[in-house]
Every structure is written in structure tokens, then in C-alpha cells.
Amino acid sequence: MPKISDAEMEIMKIIWNNNNPLTSKQIIELIPNNQWKTTTVLTLLSRLVDKGFLKAERKGRNHLYSYILSYKEYSKLCSKKLINKFYQGSFKNFFAALYADNEISQEDLYELREMLNKREDK
């Protein structure tokens, strides 16, 4: 899966968080502080279509952009890639690294135990 730049991720977040599909005009209106020119947004949208993250459907004079991968699907793929790349594909190794560095709160540990207990009950 191709990488998404930070700017492309901002566009994806807008599309994920709003009614799908959106026109480029609607996307531009949702960008905080009008930080990009229209041409920049159109370029980012085009890249995301080329990379396979968005699809564009022509509707009259506009393109309607919608996501192909949901946020949940994308984050799951990124998580797997991170664990494969840095922790030899082992969630245990990932968890152990976080635990050893005290990066996991007691509340997180409790929630993880609850999830594991529910899974074992199935």
C-alpha cells in the first residue's frame, strides 16, 4: 500500500469525518483556516485517487470524491505494517516494548485484560 503524506491524510480525515461523497468545493470549505489553494487540494485529491485511497465520480461539472478504504481499515493496515516492520510481526513484542517503557497506563492494562477475557470466552 502506498504511503499517504501528512497533507493527503488531512484530506482523508475530512472525507472520513463527513458525509461521503464530497465535491472538491465541499472539501475545500472544510479545510481548517483555508490553509491550501484550490490547485493544491485538487492535486492532493488526484494523488489520493491515483494511489487507490479515493474514487472520483463525475457528476455534471463536479467530481464526487469518496473513500475506498474506511478509517478503520486504513488504521488496521498501518498498525499491522508498523508491527511487522519494527516488532517482527509480533503484537507481544510491541506490547512488551510499550510495557517496558511504562507507556501503558493501568487503565489501558485493565481494558486490554477485559478484551482478552472476552475473546477467551468465545
Separation CA 10–CA 18 (nearest Å): 13
| CATH architecture assigned to 6-67 | Orthogonal Bundle (1.10)
Count of CB atoms situated within 10 Å of the CB of 74: 18
* Residuewise pLDDT in 10s, the chain (122 residues): 788 999 999 999 999 999 779 999 999 999 988 789 999 999 999 999 999 999 999 999 999 999 999 999 999 999 999 999 999 999 889 888 888 888 888 898 899 889 888 887 76
Rounded to two decimals, the pTM is 0.80
122 and 116 Cβ atoms separated by less than 8 Å: no
- In the chain, where the domains are located: 6-67, 87-121
CA distance 27 to 18: 9
Q: Could you tell me if 79 and 95 are in contact, meaning their C-beta atoms sit under 8 angstroms apart?
A: no
